[in-house]
Amino acid sequence: MYKQKRTARALFIVFIIFTALGLASIVLYQFIPFVKDYPFFTLGSAMITCGYAGIAFANLYKLISFDEQIRSLYIENRYNLSRESLFFNYQLFEKRINKLIKLHKKQGTYIISFTASKRTVMRNLYRNGTITQLNGFISDYLNELLGHSKDYNPNDFAYCYYHGQFVIYSFVPLNKVQDIILTIQKEIYAIVARNDLKVYTIPYFGVADVRQDLSLFEVLDNALTARDYSETHFESETFYSDDLRKDASLSEVEELREAIQNNELEVYYQPKFHLATKKFVGCEALVRWNSPRYGLLTPARFLDKAEVSGLIHEIDMFVFKRVCEDLASIRRKGDRMLPVSVNFSMYEFYSPDFFDNILKTINKTGVQTSLIQIEVTETTAQANPFMTTSILKKLKENGFRILMDDFGLGFSNLGNLNRMEFDTVKIDKSFIDGLITDAKSREIVKFLIALCKTNNMEVIAEGVDKIEQVEILKKAKCDVIQGFFYSKPLPIRDYQDFLNNNPFEKKEEAE
């Protein structure tokens, strides 16, 4: 994509040199007696003309190729995804905002963020596609309202679908922001009724003002925090203030922070079984909160709060450190040691220190990087593709293996598979759930497996809990299986015991 930009710059420089030489010839013609002949003057003038024409051409070329970039991104998205994907591109969003800021000669006013319902409701409804449908309708409506209606100037808005929420960057005053919120709110209810969608809808909005001292990402984060506050406090909209973070942190987030400090987090390991060799070949590290008050909690109970508050970074780093320490201890004991995959949140891929932090822990514990797989979700890969690609590339160059998690869920972009050089792809549980009863899921899984194979990527099926699913996956030539059928996630000691003594490898060996 940047090739065109480089070509344009090279053309530009060549023609500048042309113009400079032309000018120099004219000067020489004017002042130095021995070059005072007519052809020299003509040559100089011709060079200046050529130079100017060339500069104009280089600029035009840059313009055209820039539009081409944007068009190709749109086409790529439209081809692979649903309508809502048109909004799911943070990079385009940022580019458009920068263009609008130039046009307005000032920053925007407010960022609005919203969802059609509670985040947990939305997540559950991904499985049957209702949310994709609903978000598609909302996308169309936003396009109409802010892009084509006579009430609003399209150059006052940039919008995208970001991290599960719609986000609008605006240049309009607060009273217009209020109008927009009311209009969208009404329309969401109308869309659900009109299309008979089986969704429990309560739209939640958050608004944050664009401040000079904050980056776009920080204002965006404020808007998302305000929306989250609306959801947890049953308000339809909330205007961001720094107090909101204090309020949130006072209750659940503060509890989680204390839990991290009090060492209440634990790492569980879920084994992965290789079908062809009939051996366990690795495991996934999954965080648990062993709370004295609530008991053993899975991430569904606390990951949302961790993401909103930024505590997710501490959790990710805790899990990674614990995995490295466990591996080092297994090596010391001479016990059976298999590679471990670790989940990293999208937030890590916005942090320039991520790679160094990872390497520091590796160096401290002396663990081989080939024993670590980095699990990245599609959402992460798409939200910040340039930074994610460069971090993943560095990790790969240092021997880590890279895995795409939850593939197929929501926004499958096949382009990402190749671009980011994943070693392994994990097909999302929602497809595995349908394997036995739903022919469509079966076909999709077969297709995804074949696709990964042609691209030389290993395929894992996750969430496998029935023998029939194993049989179907075996036939479809799936490489590895992870799921309750083989084992639930286990604490380290139980996991090592399981590896050393389990019915699956033993039974297969005896055959």
Q: Which residues in this chain contact ligand C2E in the complex, by CB under 6 A?
A: 270, 286-287, 298-300, 303, 312, 315-316, 319, 343-345, 375, 405-406, 462-465, 482-484, 489
Count the residues of the shown chain that bind Mg ion, applying the rule CB under 5 A. 4
Residue 375 as a binder of Mg ion (CB under 5 A): the answer is: yes
Of 219 and 432, which has the nearer Cβ to ligand C2E?
432
Q: Residue 233 half-sphere exposure, CB side, CA atoms within 13 Å?
A: 17
Q: How far is the CB of 341 from ligand C2E (least distance, A)?
A: 8
Q: How far is the CB of 346 from ligand C2E (least distance, A)?
A: 8
**Rounded Cα gap, residues 496 and 239, in angstroms:** 50
At a CB cut-off of 8 Å and minimum separation 6, what does 39 contact?
Answer: none
Residue keyed to tokens 């590895």? 480
Which residue in 405, 413, 432, 486 binds Mg ion (CB under 5 A)?
Answer: 405
Q: How far is the CB of 427 from ligand C2E (least distance, A)?
A: 11
Q: How far is the CB of 318 from ligand C2E (least distance, A)?
A: 8
> Which residues face 283 on adjacent strands?
271, 340
Of 86 and 383, which has the nearer Cβ to Mg ion?
383
* C-beta of residue 372 within 8 angstroms of C-beta of residue 361: no
Binds 303: which of ligand C2E, Mg ion, none (CB < 5-8 Å by kind):
ligand C2E
Of 228 and 284, which has the nearer Cβ to Mg ion?
284
> Can you read off the two tokens belonging to residue 442?
């079966």
Of 227 and 322, which has the nearer Cβ to ligand C2E?
322
Of 156 and 405, which has the nearer Cβ to Mg ion?
405
Q: How far is the CB of 502 from ligand C2E (least distance, A)?
A: 16
**Rounded Cα gap, residues 357 and 360, in angstroms:** 5
Would you call 500 exposed, middle or buried from its count of C-beta atoms within 10 A (0-12, 13-18, 19+)? Answer: exposed
Over 42-100, what HEC string results? HHHHHHHHHHHHHHHHHHHHHHHHHHHHHHHHHHHHHHHCCHHHHHCCHHHHHHHHHHH
Residue 187 as a binder of Mg ion (CB under 5 A): the answer is: no
Q: How far is the CB of 286 from Mg ion (least distance, A)?
A: 7
Binds 316: which of Mg ion, ligand C2E, none (CB < 5-8 Å by kind):
ligand C2E
Largest CA distance in the chain: 101
Binds 299: which of Mg ion, ligand C2E, none (CB < 5-8 Å by kind):
ligand C2E
At a CB cut-off of 8 Å and minimum separation 6, what does 22 contact?
Answer: 43, 44, 45, 46, 47, 48, 49, 50, 51
Of 77 and 345, which has the nearer Cβ to ligand C2E?
345
Which own/partner pairs from 83-86 qualify as long-range (CB within 8 Å, at least 24 positions apart)? 83/135, 83/136, 83/139, 83/140, 84/132, 84/135, 84/136, 84/138, 84/139, 84/161, 85/161, 85/411, 85/413, 86/139, 86/143
Of 230 and 382, which has the nearer Cβ to ligand C2E?
382
Residue 406 as a binder of Mg ion (CB under 5 A): the answer is: yes
Of 228 and 375, which has the nearer Cβ to ligand C2E?
375
Other C-beta atoms closer than 10 Å to the C-beta of 506 total 9
**Rounded Cα gap, residues 23 and 29, in angstroms:** 10
Count Cβ neighbours within 10 Å for each residue of 196-232 and write b for 16 or more, e otherwise: ebebebbbbbbbbbbeeeeebeebbbbbbbbbbbbbb
Q: How far is the CB of 343 from Mg ion (least distance, A)?
A: 5
Q: How far is the CB of 426 from ligand C2E (least distance, A)?
A: 7
Residues in 319-348 at the binding interface with Mg ion, rule: CB under 5 A: 343
Binds 455: which of ligand C2E, Mg ion, none (CB < 5-8 Å by kind):
none
Q: How far is the CB of 391 from ligand C2E (least distance, A)?
A: 15
Binds 463: which of ligand C2E, Mg ion, none (CB < 5-8 Å by kind):
ligand C2E
Residues of this chain that bind Mg ion (CB under 5 A): 343, 375, 405-406
